[in-house]
Chains A and B, each alone.
Chain A
Amino acid sequence: MTISITNITKSFGNSKALDNISVDFTAGELTALLGPSGCGKTTLLRLVAGLEQADPGCGGRIIFNGQNVLADTAGKRKVGFVFQHYALFRHMTVFDNIAFGLRVRKKSQRPTKAEIKERVYSLLELVQLGNMADRMPSELSGGQRQRVALARALAIEPEVLLLDEPFGALDAKVRTELRRWLRQLHDKLNCTSIFVTHDQEEALEVADRVIVMNKGRIEQIGSPDEIFHQPASEFVMQFLGEVNVFHGRIESDDPQMVHFYDQTGQTDQPNARMLIRPHDLDISTEPDTDKRQIPATITKIQTAGPSVRLDCRDNNGKIVNVRISHDIFNRLQLFIGQNIFLTPKQLQIYRSGQK
């Protein structure tokens, strides 16, 4: 099912949770809505589900396969919704929870008891909880509860699956397992899925497409690769991982001419910011002719982890984070207090006043 959203605005009181949003979701894709808390991502998801109503008079439309569903209730839209805190019916067994969506149907559309039983058990197999049908939700772990919630949402055979921070309440290890599993499940189901997350790693790993949101607006839409390597704005770059920010001055329109770094440490009237990821800095112990080179002193070395993390202090007294491989670290034989030179391999420049 293709979902097309045009010109949707949603306010709570005086603040705009969504500000004139237009976006399309391609059929069969798994899309991540990524952003900090309060950016409107959950509101957008709830609007698609019909749990929230767009501002009257915003003139927006929500179209499922060519049909405007803006006026339809949540039940009518037939979407599967998974809540962050599971929202399982705690007075019902796992079986009854999953069967709920089938049992509340009108008599004419309701499957027979045997059909319901068959469907529930096949869903339990799908979410790998085959022997848990008679348990109460309180007897399950967090990861198991979320899988029951997913099975319950899938029972009504939705063409759209919406997940609101589905792994937010789980611990780190379960979270990684479950998100890989969700990706496999999505490929098996062939429905249009949208999930909300504030965890960039989760979005980049699982999604076909990532929509980065900030303050009720969309910052960038793209594949995980595009989002990570070609951030459309400073916000996206900052949000998608650690960055070092340097203030400098652009003296002409050619970014190569940027005189960002000045050995004396002072740049007059900075008019631009240079953003460099910690792993995009090359380290050398000798200066060379590259104008962009940043001299610094190592203040802290952390070798535990997949790469070595260095805290360096530049001439302005600013801390610069650098990540290098263990191989390079061993070859250079770095030590605390050593003077080094950092060369950016890749950087993004944003002028002041630009986003």
Chain B
Amino acid sequence: MIPFITAGDPAPELTVPLMHALVEGGADIIELGVPFSDPMADGPTIQRASERALVNGMSLRKVLALVSDFRATNSDTPVVLMGYANPIEAMGVDRFVAAAGAAGVDGVLVVDYPPEECEAFARTLKAGSMDPIFLLAPTSTEQRIREVATIGSGYIYYVSLKGVTGSGALDFDDVAARMPQIRQGVGMPVGVGFGIRDAESARRIGEVADAVVIGSRIIEEIEDSPRDQAVARVKNFVEGVRAALDQIQGAPR
């Protein structure tokens, strides 16, 4: 299970407690969103999270500091940063990779860096012992799957529907049908995200994928909670998903 939260939402001081809550709730990997002013691939929920985080003064530098804080008491759970290219380019790729490595980041997913635009970035990340994580979509071609397999490492994030994060319509049969081809093509674990809303949809995806990614639904939990209850409610929600995944025969993630 790979839960996603946006760093700095609802408040910078809640990000590290939320990360620990995700781990206690059963997260295998944490995707930590780096807020950006123009999150083109995200739906309204994650956009709002980004806007709140930016109002709270969050920046890439501060996100890395939060990862360091998290690492003070958790040295095991992998942390993957997910965000957009511009904040990284503004910091400078080399400086970013050095700082991310030092902070204890394990992987980086840059939404608007498709393989053809980031060969050097992916190389630099790998040289720093971090994984460049890539997206694949229902529309991705065989050739695309091979390209991503060559340049990426860690896992593949399969976007389960055509659209933006948090969208409604998720086609389980379509995901199930595509999974063998993608798995075989990339030779690494495949996480599936975009449109997973609850324990039941997580379980159904978990039956065919190596991991499920849940983002917008957790952000909604944070939005709907009084500030002092956000951490407990997120933990509770994630536990529910974990329990559903654990019912799956075989090797649920």
Partners in one complex: no
Chain B contact residues, CB within 8 Å of chain A = none
Chain A contact residues, CB within 8 Å of chain B = none
